[in-house]
Amino acid sequence: MDNKALLKGVRVVELSSFVAAPCCAKLLGDWGAEVIKIEPLGGDGIRVMGGTFKSPCTDEENPMFELENGNKKGISVNVKTKEGVEIIHKLLAKADIFITNVREQALSKIGLTYDQLKDEFPALIHAHILGYGENGPLKDKPGFDYTAYFARGGVSQSLMEKGTSPCNTAAAFGDHYAGVSLTAGILAALYKKQMTGEGDRVTVSLYHTALYGMGMMITTAQYGNKMPISRANPNSPLMTTYKCKDGKWIQLALIQYNKWLPKFCNVINRPEIMEDERFNDIKVMPLHVDEMVEIVGEAMLEKTLDEWSALLEEADLPFEKVQSCEDILEDEQAWANDFLFKTKYANGNEGVLVNGPVKFKTMGIKEYTPAPRVGEHTEEVLKELGYTEEEILNMVNSQAVKLDDSKELV
């Protein structure tokens, strides 16, 4: 498998926390790159967040940290010390890619901005997750998935049911899309590096990622298309959700209205819709959306979700069941494609994690290496950089680095 790894020989240094940048580095690790994650002495902040989401967050079982940090080596370094900065520079001297989400001002204080590094490391790809972009009044504002992506990016407002409050969003949704975007940018820069020997600065902001995802709605807003909308008053009555007899919900996606309406009317046993001039043509339907939604809604309450699924599949009409995360954990489609996988934690418990969204035919899926403990590979990596045991011991005692608790030299 290792011989087929697409990024074998590529070395990544990651100085980041939480989700957006770490998930980017993990994707590169999944594809064969060697990733060295640098954490502060207390560890990445996401290590202690599990309780907020009813998830374990111990050293023996930490799914939230595991999800973003498998297939990496981990070292623990105090970057505010002279020794810590020296370690990072030695790592960067051997690296192809540097990934960070540390704010520009903080990077500047420790000499790790692109402008501060480019002369010393001209071939280095400096990849940076930002909150709101490199310029403008918010360039130094801390950016989070909840704030820069969902709130300012218009995503929360677009997802809410019209007339209600903004939705309580799914954590890290925007972070993962920003991370995937940064990964794409890094690979383009890596190709350039292979062709020219030159590195580059690659940036992705959470805010811009939201705007890109909302592009169709933002573009049409200037012509009067307004968000949010109500599921009871959508752009099309055949492109909204309906409640079924068993209380479950179904999403219709009949985007070709005139083409699919006759077949749909037959499925729901409402042939009279085709005889009604208010509904039987897309040219007039927008004037009577509310009325048709009511008619379709009454029809959908006559059968269960499974019953409608069978009928709509047989008619080859686009729809989908509205699933919960609990449903997804049992979804045979996800398991059949290895979108999910099981891992065993240090305490013996088994848990489910999500694989990255890109698959390669020849490489397959890399054998999973569990996320590192705090400082698990500090000693190993420092010795590879030429540090002696005595030098490492001195740095441990001065709190410039931290080793795995089971390997303390003190």
Give the residue numbers marked as catalytic: 175
How far is residue 208's CA from residue 187's CA, in Å, rounded to a whole number?
A: 19
How far is residue 252's CA from residue 242's CA, in Å, rounded to a whole number?
A: 8
Q: What is the largest CA-CA distance in the chain?
A: 88
DSSP 133: -
How far is residue 257's CA from residue 292's CA, in Å, rounded to a whole number?
A: 13
Structure tokens at 385: 């950089």
Query: 30, 116 in Cβ contact below 8 A?
Result: no
CA angle 184, 113, 72 (to 5 degrees): 50
How far is residue 60's CA from residue 348's CA, in Å, rounded to a whole number?
A: 9
Distances (CA, A) of 77 to 12, 42, 98, 321: 16, 9, 16, 47
How far is residue 236's CA from residue 221's CA, in Å, rounded to a whole number?
A: 17
Residue with tokens 């990651």: 14
- Neighbour count for residue 204 (Cβ, 10 Å): 27
How far is residue 294's CA from residue 240's CA, in Å, rounded to a whole number?
A: 12
Sequence-distant contacts of 270-279: CB under 8 A, at least 24 apart: 270/295, 270/296, 270/299, 279/237
Q: Which amino acid makes up residue 30? A: D
* 262 upstream amide cis, omega within 30 of 0: no
Structure tokens at 144: 């989070």
How far is residue 73's CA from residue 33's CA, in Å, rounded to a whole number?
A: 11
How far is residue 4's CA from residue 2's CA, in Å, rounded to a whole number?
A: 5
Give 2: exposed, middle or buried? Use CB within 10 Å, 0-12, 13-18, 19+. Answer: exposed
